[in-house]
Amino acid sequence: MKLIYGTIRRETLNNYSVIFCSQFRRNQSNKAYKWPRRVFSGIQPTGSMHLGNYFGAVQRWVELQNAGEDVIYSIADLHSITLPQDPKQLQAHVLKLAATLLACGIDPDKSILFQQSRVPEHTQLCWVLGCITTMPRLAHIPTYKEKSLTLKEVPLGLYIYPVLQAADILLYRATQVPVGEDQTQNLQLVQHLAKIFNNRHGPTFPVPEAIMADSSISRLKSLRDPSKKMSKSDQDPRSRIEITDTPEDLLEKCKKAVTDFTSEVTFDPEKRPGVANLITIHSLFTGLDPAEVCKQARGLDTGRYKLVVADVIQESLKPLRLRVQEYMSEPQYVEQVLEQGAERASQVAHETWNDVRAKVGLSVLQDVYRSNLLTKKEVRGK
C-alpha cells in the first residue's frame, strides 16, 4: 500500500479491501460451486487402435457411456501433428479411428464424438492457458522428456501440448477424466491451471478428477520388448496387436512375441514379463484370471501357448474387425457422425469460451463499439 506523509490513503485502503473481499468470495464460491458431472477423454489418430488403447481406454469409454454418463470423446488430431505426419495418411487415420470407435460401441446418440480440429475454441483457450503456464512446469512433463530425446530440434507444439490437453478438458468443463498412470502429471497440470484461473477470475472451470484405469490393462506390453508399453508410435508393427489385424498378421505377431527360455507357462510379471503379457491378453479376452489361464495351459510350452493366444485373439476380434469394415464402407456416414459431433461439441465450447473471453478482457470490436455508443448516449442524455 502507498504511504502518503506517514498515513494510508483512505481510497487506497478501500481498494485493497475490495480486492481482498473479492478474492475471498472467489475462493469461497470455488469451494461451494457444484459442477454437473461430465466425462471427457481423447485419443490421437496416429495409427490403428491397438489392444492397449482398446482395453485401457475405449472399453471404459463405452462402459461410461452405457452407464448414462454425460460423455464427450475427442479424436485429437491437433495433438497428432506435434510430430511430422503425412497429411493424406492423417486424414485416413481420422476416418478409420472414428469407424473403429463406432465399431467398439461408441454411440453418437449417447456420446459426443468429434474431431478436435473442427472446434477452434480448443486453440483459443490453449493460448489463454499458455499465458498462465510456466516453462519450468512444462519441462518436467515425462512425455515431453521421453519424446524429445529422439529429436535434434524440439517443436514448440510438442513442448506446449500439455497446455492444449488442459484446454481440451477445461473447454468442456469436465469433472472426470479417464487416465492411465503415465498421464497423471498431465492431469495435475490441468488441475493446477483450473485453480489458477478460478482464483484470478472467479469460478470458471471445475477441477477435474482422475478416473484411474487398471494399470495392468492400460500398460499392456510391447510384444517385441516387454519392458516397454504397447504403443502406436513404436516403429516395429510387430510390437502391437491392432484391432484390424488380419488372422495371418495376428498369428505372425504372436509367434514372434518375445518370451524367455523357460518352457512352462507361468504368470510372473517381474521375472517373465513377455509370457505374463500374453497371459494378460488371454485373460482380458476370456475373462479368466491369470491363474486359471495358466491352469488351462498346463502341459504346453510357450511356443504352443502362443498359438492358443493367437486363436483366442482372432476369435474375439473377428466381429469387431468386420464391424470396422462395414463402417469404412460408409465413409459418408462416419463423416456425418463427426460433423454432428463437432456441432454439439461447439455449443458447449462456445459457451465456455465466451465466459473465459469476457473474464480476461478479450472483447470483440462489436462489443466495444456497442459499449461506446451506449456511453455516448448516456452523456448526451445528461
Pick the catalytic residue from 31, 195, 221, 232.
232
Could you confirm whether 359 is annotated as catalytic?
Answer: no
Contacts of 161 (CB under 8 A, 6+ apart): 79, 82, 144
CB 240 within 8 A of CB 202: no
Pick the catalytic residue from 96, 221, 229, 306.
229
Spatial strand order of the sheet with 176-179 comes to: 111-115, 71-75, 39-43, 176-179, 209-212
Return d(Cα 199, Cα 196) in angstroms, integer: 5
Pick the catalytic residue from 147, 221, 253, 306.
147
Could you confirm whether 147 is annotated as catalytic?
Answer: yes
Number of C-beta neighbours around residue 116 at 10 A: 22
DSSP string covering 167-220, please? HHHHHTT-SEEEE-GGGHHHHHHHHHHHHHHHHHHSS-S---EEEEPPHHHHTP
Return d(Cα 70, Cα 261) in angstroms, integer: 49
CA 126 to chain centre: 15
Number of C-beta neighbours around residue 277 at 10 A: 24
Contacts of 69 (CB under 8 A, 6+ apart): 37, 38, 39
> Active-site residue numbers?
147, 229, 232
